[in-house]
Amino acid sequence: MHRVPRPVKRLSFASPSGAPVLAVDDLRLEIRRSTRRQTLGLTVDRGGELVLSAPECLDDRTLRAFVREKKVWIYTKLAAKGALQSTPARKEFVTGEGFHYLGRSYRLLLIDTQDRPLKLDAGRFRFVRDEAERGRKHFVRWYSDHAASWLSRRAGEWAPSLGVEPVGVKILDLGHRWGSCGKGKTINFHWASILLPPSIVDYIVVHELVHLREPNHTPEFWSRVERALPDYERRKAWLAENGAGHAAF
């Protein structure tokens, strides 16, 4: 790990979000500095963007040396990310298929009849057989309904400590985004967020709530996230590396 303090020479260009960017050969990395960090860390975002988290005291030469040492790891992660995004998993609505909910996998059981098409009961998703052709529609509706109540509650619990007051929570299909800030301080979440482990969903919730104060991914934004979730980088890295596959549908 690189811990030696050096005078910092600031970068001369920035990403669209306003964060500084470091160019290393054919790689471009968004730099996120923190006075609390003592080591360097690399992550690959869901969209394939590279993020280098660094202590405030390290200069560009040290950052470039670190990135070059990690180039094999970076290319491996980028290749894996590209393969995952180009071949999304497809769920089959048959008995025995696994479906996630809050980080746990529950097996599907097709049955002939029940009081509603789909429900989670006794550790299994029970689904009416005659509705199998419309399986995705029913699951998205079930996930959306449960996400609305769960995410609204968590947003309400986090908001006071973050000093924000969201006016509402909406559950939408946001494509490749897990969340976004809507107009009028409304927070939007992808319905598939509810498939992820609770600690990861909390990171998404905190991330979007902090955007109510800091619209862009500035150093102050990440500082606020870090104060709320000191281990946010671990959660963020898990989401970048596992989220798309974990919530594939």
Boundaries of every domain in the chain: 21-86, 134-246
| Strand extents, DSSP E, 4-80 | 21-24, 27-34, 41-44, 50-55
pLDDT recorded at residue 45: 74
Q: Copy the structure tokens of residue 135.
A: 């399986």
Nearest to 32 by CA among 46, 18, 48, 47: 18
pLDDT recorded at residue 85: 56
The alpha carbon of residue 158 and the mean position of all alpha carbons in its chain are separated, in whole angstroms, by 17
Alpha-carbon distance of 96 to 107, in angstroms, equals: 5
| pTM beyond cutoff 0.75 | no
The answer to whether residues 27 and 72 touch, using CB atoms and an 8 Å cutoff, is: no
Alpha-carbon distance of 164 to 212, in angstroms, equals: 7
A 10 A CB-CB count for 19 gives 20
- pLDDT tens for the chain, 249 residues: list them: 444 344 344 443 445 555 788 988 888 898 988 888 888 988 877 666 888 989 988 999 999 999 998 888 888 777 766 655 555 567 899 999 999 999 999 999 999 999 999 999 999 999 999 999 999 999 999 999 999 999 999 999 999 999 999 999 999 998 878 999 877 889 999 999 999 999 999 999 999 999 999 988 888 998 999 999 999 988 988 888 788 777 777
Q: Copy the structure tokens of residue 57.
A: 């005291």
Alpha-carbon distance of 90 to 249, in angstroms, equals: 6
Q: Are strands 124-128 and 104-111 parallel, antiparallel or unpaired?
A: parallel
Angle at CA of residue 87, ends 85 and 89, nearest 5° = 100
Fold adopted by 134-246: Zincin-like (3.30.2010)
* Amino acid identity for residue 119 in this structure: K
